[in-house]
C-alpha cells in the first residue's frame, strides 16, 4: 500500500519534471539551431541573480501569482477568463485615478483605492458573467472583447484627463503620504520589495481556504467537474458563474497595485501589461493548485528577470526566454494527460493482478 | 516500448510546433532584414574609444524605422570613434524594473555613454542616472519626469511636426482628388504631433484640402506593429477619396503601403522615420511618394560624439529642420517637380516665418 502511495506522489511530480526537461531541451535545440551556444545561455540563466534581480523576482512573482490565482478561480469552475488583462487594466487605472485625486489622506486613501480596484475588476468581469448567463455568450469571446474595450477606454480617459508630460501621459501622481513603499533588503539602489506584495500571499491563502474549507469552494469545484451533478445537488449554476467571474475579476483587480503604490505612483508608461496572460500560463503550469502556481510564478519571474543578463557574454536574444516559458506550459498540459493515462493503466493492472489472487484465496 | 515511442513522439511534435512558432515570430518582427548576429557592429567592435550602451524600444532592431535608425547612428559612431558597444531590447509588456535593470547593467559593465531609444526610458533613466554620475545618458524623445535636474542626461527630442509639415505640402500638391489621409499608430501625444504638422502643411499648400485622419489604436502599443490594421485604416481613407496617405505607425506602415498598391495607379503613400523607399518591396516602390525623415541616427551619433569630445550634451536638445534633425526623402524622384515649393516652406519654417502647431 505504501509503495503505491509513494508511486502516486512520484507520478504527480513526474509531469512537471517532464515539462521542464522538454522545455529545456527545446530551448537548447532552438539556440543551437540559430548558431549560438546553449552552454553560455544556461550558465547565464542559472547564474546567481544579483541583489537587484532578486528584488525584482520577488516583486514580479507576487504580481504574476495574483494573476494566476485570478485565472485559477475561473478554471476550477470551468470558466475560461481570458479577460484578466482588461480587468486589472481597468482596476489599476481606477485605483490610480482615485488615489491620485487625493480625496483621502494616508493609508485610508490606499485602503479605499484597493477596494475600488477590486470592485472595478469584479464589475468588468461581471459583465462577461452576466452576458453568459442571460444571453449565452461564451465568456472566452466576451472577455477578449472586453480586453480590447478596456485598452481603448483607458487610453481615451487618460488622454482626456491625465497629466501630459513630454511625449507621455499619466494619471495624477499619488502623494508620497499615500505610497506604500516596502522594505529594502540590500542597498537602496537595488530597489525595494513592495509592501503590497503581501496581497499575493493573502490571495493565495484565501484561495486555498475558499476551495478546501468552504461550502462555496465545494460548489465551485463541483460545478467545474460536472454542471449537471452540481445542479442536482442544489447549486444554482447561473449564480455560480456570475459569482466566480466576479471573484476572478476582483482578484485580478489587485494584480498591479503593489507596483502602483510601491514605485510607479501613477498609471502611465510604467504600467506593466501582459501580466494577465502570464497569469493564465502560470495557472496552467501550476494546475490551478495554490502551491503549484507559486512554483510557476517564481519560475516565470526568475526567467524574465534573468533574461536581461543575456545581453552580456552571450549572443542569445532575451526573447528566447519566451520560448522556454511557452514550451513549459504546453509540455505540462501534454505531460499531465500522458501521465494520467499511464497511471490509469497502471492502476487497472494492479487491480487486475489483485482480483484473481483474491478470488483464489476465497476459493 | 510503445509507450516510450508515443511519449517521444509527443515531445518531438511539441518541439517542432514551438520551434516553428519561435522562428516565425522572430522572422515576422524582423522583416527578414536583420543582419546575422556575426555582422553586428557590437559583436566585432574592439576599439579603445568610449563604450556605448544602446537600449532599444519595443520592436527592437529590424523594425526598418525608429530603432533601426538608432542603430545606423550607433554604427557610424562606433566606426568613427573606435568605440565598443552593447545592445539591449525592450520586451512587450515588460516591467519598469526591467528597463531600469537594463540601464544599470550597461553602466555596471563599463558603458560610459548610454542611450535609451524611446520616451518610455524617461523614468528609468531618471532613476538610474544619479547613481552613475560619471556616465552620460541620452533619451531619444525623452523628458525629465521630475524637478530635479540631471546633469548627466540629455533629452534628444525632434520637431516631428516640422518634417510632417513638409510631407503635408507634398501630399497636397500631388493630390488630384482634393482629399488626403493620415494613419497614426497610436493616438498619443507624440503621434498627434505628426498629424498636426501634416495637416498644417497640407492646408498651407491648398487651403481647401480635406484630410482624413485615422488611428489604429487608442492607447495599445500594438498599433505600431499591426500591418493588417494599417492596411485597413489606409484602405478606408482611399475609399473615401484620398489619393495620398501619410503614416506615422512604425511597423504597421507596410500595410499602408500595401493599401496604396491595391488602390492602384496614382495612389500614394508617404513613409516615416527612415527613408522607407529604400526598404520597400518592388511592388510598393512606385507608390512611395516620399518619407518624413526623423534623424534618430543623427541624434544618436551627435550624442556619442559630444561625449567623445568631452562636451557631453545635457538637458533638452531639439532636432528640428534647422539642425537637419527632420526632413523629407527624395528617393524615387517623385517629388522632384515640387521640391522647390517644399524647400520654400522649409526656409520659412527655419526662419520662423511659419510656426508649425504641435497639436491637431
Residue carrying the nine cell digits 511618394: B289
Q: Which residue of B has its CA nearest to A33?
A: B19
A-facing residues of B in 217-246 (CB < 8 A) are 217-220
What per-residue string of b and e applies to A200-223 under the rule 16 or more CB within 10 Å gives b?
Answer: beebbeebeebbeeeeebbbbebb
> Hey, is A172 helix, strand or coil?
coil
Lowest mean pLDDT among A265-269, A328-332, B77-81, B129-133: A328-332
Residue A261 is given by DSSP the state: I
The predicted model gives A257-266 an average pLDDT of 94
Shortest alpha-carbon distance between residue B148 and chain A (Å):
15
The predicted model gives B302-307 an average pLDDT of 92
Contact list, A52 vs chain B (CB under 8 Å): 101, 104
B-facing residues of A in 18-37 (CB < 8 A) are 22, 25-26, 29-30, 33-36
Most confident of A79-93, A219-233, B8-22, B41-55: A79-93
Q: Is B171 a residue whose pLDDT tops 80? A: yes
How many residues are present in chain B?
A: 360
Q: Is A133 a residue whose pLDDT tops 70? A: yes
Shortest alpha-carbon distance between residue B174 and chain A (Å):
31
Test B104 with A152 for CB contact under 8 angstroms: no
| Assigned CATH for B37-158+297-319 | 3.40.50.2300
Q: Which of A166, A268, A326, A346 to mutate to test the interface with B (most CBs of B within 10 A)?
A: A166
Q: Is A301 a residue whose pLDDT tops 80? A: yes
A269 in contact with chain B, both atoms CB, cutoff 8 A: yes
CA dist A187 → A52, A55, A183, B95, B100 (Å): 9, 11, 11, 20, 15
Shortest alpha-carbon distance between residue A52 and chain B (Å):
8
Separation CA A249–CA A200 (nearest Å): 15
Separation CA A110–CA A100 (nearest Å): 10
Fold exhibited by the domain B160-294+330-351: Rossmann fold (3.40.50)
Nearest to B294 by CA among B112, B80, B17, B66: B66
Residue carrying the nine cell digits 528640428: B320
Where do the structural domains in chain B lie, given as residue ranges? 37-158+297-319, 160-294+330-351
A-facing residues of B in 255-284 (CB < 8 A) are none
Contacts 24+ apart (CB under 8 A), A222-226: A223/A77, A223/A78, A224/A75, A224/A76, A224/A77, A224/A78
What is the pLDDT at residue A360?
62
A297 CB neighbour count, 10 Å cutoff: 30
In chain A the domains, ranked by start, together with CATH numbers, are: 51-320 (1.10.3470)
CA atoms within 13 A on the CB side of A163: 17
Residues of chain B with pLDDT > 90, as a percent, come to: 62
| Band of pLDDT at residue B13, cut at 50, 70 and 90 | very low
Nearest to B219 by CA among A120, A157, A123: A157
Contact list, B104 vs chain A (CB under 8 Å): 52, 189
Separation CA A84–CA A71 (nearest Å): 7
Residue carrying the nine cell digits 484565501: A206
Average pLDDT of the residues of chain A? 90
Q: Which of A308, A315, A329 to mutate to test the interface with B (most CBs of B within 10 A)?
A: A308
The predicted model gives B89-118 an average pLDDT of 89
Read off the C-alpha cell for A245: 467571474
What is the pLDDT at residue B71?
92
* pLDDT tens figures, B59-102: 778 777 788 889 999 999 999 998 889 888 888 778 889 999 99
The predicted model gives B188-194 an average pLDDT of 93
A136 in contact with chain B, both atoms CB, cutoff 8 A: no
B97 in contact with chain A, both atoms CB, cutoff 8 A: yes
The predicted model gives A317-323 an average pLDDT of 84
Separation CA A361–CA A355 (nearest Å): 10
Average pLDDT of the residues of chain B? 86
CA atoms within 13 A on the CB side of B180: 31
Q: Which of A263, A317, A342 sits opposite B96 (nearest CB)?
A: A263
Q: Identical fold at B37-158+297-319 and B160-294+330-351?
A: yes
Residue carrying the nine cell digits 520597400: B280
Q: Is B103 a residue whose pLDDT tops 80? A: yes
B2 in contact with chain A, both atoms CB, cutoff 8 A: no
Lowest mean pLDDT among A138-147, B127-136, B309-318: B309-318
| Band of pLDDT at residue B148, cut at 50, 70 and 90 | confident
Separation CA B267–CA A353 (nearest Å): 79
Residue B209 dihedral angles phi and psi, to the nearest 5°: -70, 150
Q: Which of A29, A164, A320 sits opposite B189 (nearest CB)?
A: A164
Shortest alpha-carbon distance between residue A167 and chain B (Å):
5
Amino acid at each position: 500500500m505504501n509503495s503505491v502511495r509513494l508511486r502516486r506522489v512520484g507520478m504527480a511530480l513526474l509531469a512537471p519534471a517532464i515539462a521542464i526537461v522538454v522545455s529545456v531541451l527545446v530551448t537548447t535545440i532552438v539556440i543551437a539551431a540559430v548558431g549560438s551556444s546553449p552552454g553560455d545561455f544556461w550558465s547565464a540563466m542559472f547564474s546567481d541573480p544579483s541583489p537587484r534581480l532578486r528584488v525584482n523576482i520577488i516583486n514580479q512573482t507576487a504580481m504574476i501569482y495574483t494573476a494566476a490565482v485570478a485565472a485559477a478561480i475561473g478554471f476550477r469552475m470551468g470558466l475560461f477568463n481570458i479577460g484578466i488583462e482588461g480587468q486589472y487594466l481597468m482596476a489599476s487605472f481606477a485605483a490610480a485615478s482615485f488615489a491620485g485625486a487625493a480625496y483621502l489622506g494616508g493609508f485610508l486613501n490606499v485602503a479605499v483605492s484597493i477596494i475600488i480596484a477590486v470592485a472595478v475588476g469584479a464589475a468588468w468581469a461581471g459583465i462577461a458573467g452576466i452576458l453568459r448567463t442571460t444571453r449565452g455568450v461564451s465568456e472566452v469571446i466576451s472577455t477578449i472583447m472586453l480586453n480590447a474595450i478596456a485598452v481603448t477606454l483607458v487610453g481615451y480617459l487618460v488622454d482626456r484627463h491625465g497629466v501630459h508630460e513630454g511625449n507621455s501621459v499619466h494619471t495624477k501622481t499619488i502623494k508620497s503620504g499615500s505610497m506604500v513603499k516596502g522594505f529594502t533588503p540590500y542597498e537602496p539602489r537595488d530597489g525595494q520589495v513592495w509592501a503590497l506584495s503581501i496581497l499575493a500571499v493573502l490571495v493565495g491563502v484565501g484561495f486555498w481556504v475558499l476551495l478546501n474549507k468552504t461550502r462555496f469552494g465545494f460548489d465551485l469545484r463541483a460545478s467545474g467537474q460536472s454542471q449537471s451533478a452540481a445542479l442536482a445537488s442544489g447549486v444554482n449554476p447561473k449564480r455560480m458563474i456570475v459569482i466566480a467571474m466576479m471573484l476572478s475579476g476582483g482578484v485580478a483587480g489587485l494584480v498591479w497595485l503593489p507596483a502602483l503604490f510601491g514605485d510607479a505612483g501613477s498609471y502611465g508608461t510604467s504600467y506593466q501589461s501582459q501580466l494577465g496572460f502570464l497569469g493564465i500560463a502560470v495557472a496552467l503550469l501550476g494546475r490551478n493548485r495554490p502551491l503549484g502556481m507559486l512554483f510557476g510564478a517564481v519560475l516565470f519571474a526568475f526567467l524574465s528577470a534573468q533574461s536581461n543578463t543575456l545581453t552580456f557574454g552571450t549572443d542569445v536574444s532575451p526573447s528566447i526566454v519566451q520560448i522556454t516559458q511557452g514550451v513549459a506550459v504546453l509540455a505540462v498540459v501534454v505531460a499531465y494527460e500522458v501521465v494520467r493515462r499511464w497511471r490509469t493503466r497502471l492502476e487497472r493492472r494492479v487491480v487486475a493482478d489483485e482480483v484473481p489472487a483474491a478470488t483464489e484465496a476465497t476459493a | 516500448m510503445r509507450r516510450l515511442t508515443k511519449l517521444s513522439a509527443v515531445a518531438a511534435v511539441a518541439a517542432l510546433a514551438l520551434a516553428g512558432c519561435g522562428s516565425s515570430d522572430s522572422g515576422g518582427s524582423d522583416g527578414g532584414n536583420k543582419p546575422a548576429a556575426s555582422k553586428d557592429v557590437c559583436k566585432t567592435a574592439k576599439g579603445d574609444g568610449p563604450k556605448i550602451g544602446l537600449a532599444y524600444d519595443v520592436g527592437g532592431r529590424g523594425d526598418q524605422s525608429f530603432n533601426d535608425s538608432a542603430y545606423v547612428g550607433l554604427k557610424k559612431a562606433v566606426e568613427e570613434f573606435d568605440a565598443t558597444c552593447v545592445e539591449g531590447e525592450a520586451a512587450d509588456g515588460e516591467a519598469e524594473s526591467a528597463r531600469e535593470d537594463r540601464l544599470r547593467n550597461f553602466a555596471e559593465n563599463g558603458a560610459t555613454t548610454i542611450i535609451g531609444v524611446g520616451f518610455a526610458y524617461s523614468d528609468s533613466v531618471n532613476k538610474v542616472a544619479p547613481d552613475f554620475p560619471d556616465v552620460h545618458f541620452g533619451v531619444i524623445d525623452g523628458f525629465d519626469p521630475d524637478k530635479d535636474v540631471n546633469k548627466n542626461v540629455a533629452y534628444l527630442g525632434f520637431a516631428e511636426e516640422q518634417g510632417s509639415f513638409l510631407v503635408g505640402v507634398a501630399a497636397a500638391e500631388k493630390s488630384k482628388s482634393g482629399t488626403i489621409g493620415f494613419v497614426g499608430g497610436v493616438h498619443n501625444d507624440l503621434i498627434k504631433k505628426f498629424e498636426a504638422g501634416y495637416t498644417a502643411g497640407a492646408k498651407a499648400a491648398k487651403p481647401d484640402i480635406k484630410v482624413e485622419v485615422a488611428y489604429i489604436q487608442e492607447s495599445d502599443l500594438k498599433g505600431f506593429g499591426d500591418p493588417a490594421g494599417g492596411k485597413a485604416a489606409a484602405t478606408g481613407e482611399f475609399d473615401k477619396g484620398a489619393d495620398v496617405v501619410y503614416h506615422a505607425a512604425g511597423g504597421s506602415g507596410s500595410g499602408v503601403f500595401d493599401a496604396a498598391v491595391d488602390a492602384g495607379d496614382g495612389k500614394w503613400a508617404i513613409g516615416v522615420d527612415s527613408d522607407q523607399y529604400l526598404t520597400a518591396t518592388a511592388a510598393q516602390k512606385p507608390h512611395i511618394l516620399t518619407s518624413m525623415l526623423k534623424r534618430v541616427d543623427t541624434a544618436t551619433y551627435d550624442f556619442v560624439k559630444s561625449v567623445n569630445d568631452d562636451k557631453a550634451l545635457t538637458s533638452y536638445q531639439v532636432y528640428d529642420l534647422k539642425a537637419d534633425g527632420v526632413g523629407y526623402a527624395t528617393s524615387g524622384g517623385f517629388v522632384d517637380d515640387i521640391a522647390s515649393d517644399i524647400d520654400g516652406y522649409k526656409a520659412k519654417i527655419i526662419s520662423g516665418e511659419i510656426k508649425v502647431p504641435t497639436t491637431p
